Structure 1
Amino acid sequence: MYDTILVPTDGSTVAEHAVDHAIDLAETYDATVHALYVVDTSAVDIGLGTEQVDRIRQGKFGDMPELEQRARDATGAVATKAADCGLDVTEAVVGGQPHGQIADYADDHDVDLIVMGSAGRSGVRRALLGSVAERTLRTTRRPVLVVDAETGTGSD
């Protein structure tokens, strides 16, 4: 049913719950896990030149080693957990709008399921900010399992 499972991660507790679900599903279906970190270039482009932002979008960090380390730590944690379970893992770091990059990556790699966490914002904060999970749901035609940060349970 699932051969390729994508788990976007930022290394947060919210993402950690999704990683656990993704690995459990990958074990069940003997699927490959793809760990994706998206550098939100709209959040980092203040004070950066166009050339620097373009490099980040390509996963090239140049003089931003802290950002690169954060990304590698997040995908590396997923890779370690998955490898400990005997699963094949692919790590990727890209830059851009997170929901768009997640959808594009899923299409480019023929992903069968996207498993991601949601912080569960409500009210004005959600109306103003939205969520990456919500925007991904609206952007992709791929199945998305959204894991609640507080309960660790999924919904789609």
Structure 2
Amino acid sequence: MFNYILVAVDGSTHAERALAQAIDLARTQGARLAILTAVPHVPVTAAYAGVSPASLAADTEAESEVILRRAQETVPDHVSVTTILTRAAVRDALVEQVETGRFDLLVMGSRGRGAVRSTLLGSVSHHLLNHTTIPMLIVHAEAPSGAREGESFVRAGAV
């Protein structure tokens, strides 16, 4: 049984599905829910594109706040929910939160990267599988090929 579930959101379809699964688990198990989003880092090269880095940073933070607020609004009233807005890289923020010992499940969406792309770019979920010790639930945005309509496509795993 889970008591405190941490879910990461970023406004993507993957994250929306992960949030729905986390809410369902929290609801059915009487668990508390924490929703985390990370403000994307504004690259220094933004200035070369004629965009003010400060303005872009303010815009991305405002957008992250909207994503977090919308996610919180989807949680039923009877589920206890807190929100976490961080300026750290999402993978570092999630590891830091997990290391507090408060959470017993981490839920996040999968970007569905192939093995080569994941190796080249790195993967938040792969990093977390290797740097955290709590169970993770990784939710795919789309059903895998061969899945039937309405068939569950959530995969859980532990290292």
Give the alignment's TM-score, normalised by structure 2: 0.79
Q: Which has the higher contact order (CA 8 A, sep 6+)?
A: 1
Partner of 1:78: 71
Distance 1:45 1:63, change over 3 A: closer
Q: CA deviation at 1:123?
A: 3.6
Q: In 2, distance between residues paired with 1:74 and 1:109? A: 26
What is the total number of aligned residue pairs between the two structures?
Answer: 141
Q: In 2, distance between residues paired with 1:30 and 1:116? A: 19
Q: CA deviation at 1:154?
A: 2.6
Partner of 2:111: 119
The 5-angstrom pairing of residues 96-135 of structure 1 reads 96-108=88-100, 110-135=102-127
Structure with the greater alpha carbon radius of gyration: 2
Distance 1:86 1:15, change over 3 A: same
2:44 to 38, 46, 62: 46
Identity %: 33
Q: Is the 8 A contact 1:100 1:139 kept in 2?
A: no
2:36 aligned counterpart, secondary structure = strand
Q: CA deviation at 1:62?
A: 8.8
1:54-87 Cα distance to aligned partner (Å, 9 max, x none): xxxxxxx9983311221112211221111x2521
The 5-angstrom pairing of residues 15-34 of structure 1 reads 15-34=15-34
- Unmatched 5+ stretches in structure 2: 47-53, 144-152
2:20 aligned counterpart, secondary structure = helix
Q: In 2, distance between residues paired with 1:109 and 1:40? A: 25
Q: CA deviation at 1:108?
A: 2.4
Partner of 2:10: 10
Distance 1:62 1:127, change over 3 A: same
Partner of 1:139: 131
Distance 1:31 1:20, change over 3 A: same
2:11 counterpart letter in structure 1: G
1:13-66 Cα distance to aligned partner (Å, 9 max, x none): 01011001000000011111101012343xx24259xxxxxxxxxxxx998331
Q: In 1, distance between residues paired with 2:27 and 2:59? A: 32
Q: CA deviation at 1:110?
A: 0.8
Residue 90 (structure 2) pairs with residue 89 (structure 1): no
Partner of 2:148: none
- Computed over aligned residues only, the root mean square deviation of the Cα atoms, in angstroms, reads 2.1
